[in-house]
Chains A and B, each alone.
Chain A
Amino acid sequence: MALAVGCRARPGKAGDNKTGSWRVFKPVFDHEKCSKCGMCQTLCPEGCIHETNEGFFDPDYAYCKGCGLCAVECPKNAIEMKQEEK
């Protein structure tokens, strides 16, 4: 890719940076407990929690940094932070 004049870029390449590799702990989502409030999706600083077809929520582990915010804020305690097996 040629050098962009003026150090500019179109969107898309941020997605190449798989920040999931930063993780130590991994959020595990329990759909049994989930009330579909969507708070996790709203509050994720990465924007990597997505709604499933059934209306539940799952993180995109390619980008999830494991910060644990979703787990703390989930009103149903449906998210648990587990140490990741490497």
Chain B
Amino acid sequence: MACKTCELFDSGHRACGGCGAALAARLVTKAAGTETIVVSSTGCMEVFSTPYPETAWKVPWIHSLFENAAAVASGIEASLKKQGRKEKVVIMAGDGATFDIGMVCISGAFERGHDFTYICYDNEAYMNTGIQRSGATPYDASTTTSPAGSCSFGNKRPKKDMPQILAAHGAPYVATASIAYPADLMQKVEKAINTKGPCYVQVHAPCCTGWGFEGEQTIAISKLAIETGLWVNYEMVDGTVTKVKKVVRKPVEEYLKTQKRFRHLFKPKRQDAEIAAIQTIADRNAVKYGIDIQLKKE
């Protein structure tokens, strides 16, 4: 059961000041409550929260390896079932662990239909190892393995559509959320936890260190991602989109220019074609999910 007043993620953790993932950990554990077993993958969240003997987790927590959180969670779920215990299993994994190396374990676990909630905190790159490109890195973002340079505009591929992939596995509840809207995030996490079967919530968790902005702007930038249509907050029940956050859309440029990882689109020269390509991605999201608020015409 949710515990909104609980602080189940302790201060004293080693996340960067202004870290989106740290905020996500706090909000998710509030939504989950004390009767929760958290399974973490290797990554920023695991590293900044558990250098032996300091742990920030006040709920039972386990970290095994980078790719296998979903398989470990499957085993925990089976064990709890056999023991007749009521704790809920919640996975917290980054985008690298989820979109890339964890695909095998995740696909198997979702196909088998285990009763757990998989939360992916999406900071759009392998941040813990120093900002490398993942399957969640957006088009044209500069990372250390997809750097912008005289012969490159950065990451060449669009984001993998992980929510759709898991909906296709038959996940009964799939949602996207953002730390920009904490009440909405907690509501979705709570719903996922209370829905039987494998549920997935992808949480946008902007990274000041990796994306290149001041920590104090984390929430503001999270909001801009949604307002430009580059991130869409929605819910899917049994594979059908049921709720979408609508916005009065801003041009993508307002989001891109706030972050160093997109700086090469503006300096030394403005890259109109690339910015237009990113605008197309946002426009397509808008059409696909129906995010545009139709303003009444006088």
Contacts and interface: CB of A to CB of B under 8 A. Distances in A.
Direct A/B contact, Cβ within 8 angstroms: yes
Interface of A: 1, 4, 7, 9-19, 22, 42-48, 60, 62-63, 65-69, 71-73, 81
Given A13-B55, A15-B11, A43-B23, 5 more contacts: A13-B53, A14-B54, A16-B12, A17-B13, A45-B26
Contacts of A10: 55
A45 B54 contact: no
B219 interface: yes
B213 to A, nearest CB: 11
Interface string B16-39: 111110110011000000000000
18 contacts: A11-B10, A11-B55, A14-B13, A15-B11, A17-B54, A18-B12, A19-B14, A42-B27, A43-B23, A43-B219, A45-B17, A45-B19, A45-B22, A45-B23, A45-B26, A67-B215, A67-B218, A69-B219
A9 to B, nearest CB: 5
Contacts of A1: 53
B214 interface: yes
Interface residues of B, number: 35
Contacts of B52: 4, 7, 9
Given A42-B182, A47-B7, A69-B215, A16 B23 contact: no
Contacts of B58: 11
Nearest to B186: A42
Best-surrounded residue of B9, B11, B220 (most CB of chain A within 10 A): B11
B56 interface: yes
Contacts of A48: 11
Nearest to B179: A43
B216 interface: yes
A43 B15 contact: no
Contacts, number: 99
Smallest CB-CB A-B distances: 9 pairs: A68-B216, A67-B17, A65-B17, A67-B18, A14-B12, A63-B11, A45-B22, A67-B215, A17-B12
A14 B49 contact: yes
B6 to A, nearest CB: 10
B57 interface: yes
A9 B12 contact: no
B12 A72 contact: no
A46 B219 contact: no
B12 A63 contact: yes
Given A47-B26, A72-B216, A22 B12 contact: no
Nearest to A7: B52
Contacts of B22: 45-46
Contacts of B214: 68
Contacts of B12: 14-19, 63
Given A42-B182, A46-B22, A19 B11 contact: yes
Interface string B41-72: 00000000110111111100000000000000
B217 interface: yes
Best-surrounded residue of B18, B20, B219, B220 (most CB of chain A within 10 A): B18
Contacts of B17: 22, 45, 65-68
Contacts of B179: 43
